[in-house]
Amino acid sequence: MIVVDEYLAIRSLTGLLPDDLPDEPLAVTTSAHWRLLLRMHASGTGQLSQALRALSPTDLVVLREPAPAVLEVLDSRPTLDQAAALAATYGNTGWHVAETLVAGLIHGRQLWFGTERNVGRRMREIADDLGVAIYIAA
């Protein structure tokens, strides 16, 4: 299973995934799915809102409750304590970063992002410390 960010989650619906992404099932964290849903209901001017505006109404419906065969939304409950411990260890990183890193630890020690600017300095620093590889899909 490959843990991806919101941008690769959107691309999974359109079938326009990068060639360098491994051919494995894709998953997104609950917090990433939350960010997508929030932008669907309160669109802004940022890159995530722009990416969502490019989707068809049908794709938006599918993204609200994606089929696990296309994109699995990971259940955060079993790893919530581990994410809280990670956040506390690294200076209260916040739920999204902590949950994403724990998902990376559990699912192959790798995370895939649609663009470099989505990684963030803290995400990269902690991932390096934990031995979680960060990949940027072409």
Question: Domains of the chain: which residue ranges?
Answer: 2-136
**What's this model's pTM, rounded to 2 decimal places?**
0.92
2-136 fold: Rossmann fold (3.40.50)
Q: Which of 46-55, 104-113, 127-136 has the lowest mean pLDDT?
A: 46-55
Q: Is the pLDDT of residue 117 over 80?
A: yes
* Dihedral sign (CA 47, 50, 52, 54): negative
Average pLDDT over residues 78-107: 96
Q: How many CB atoms lie within 10 A of CB 110?
A: 16
Q: What are the phi and psi torsion angles at 132 (to 5°)?
A: -100, 120
Residues forming beta bridges with residue 111, ordered by sequence position: 3, 134
Instruction: Give the per-residue pLDDT at 50.
Output: 92
CA distance 66 to 101: 22
Tell me the angle at which helices 95-106 and 80-89 cross, rounded to the nearest 10 degrees: 110
Q: What percent of the chain has pLDDT above 90? A: 78
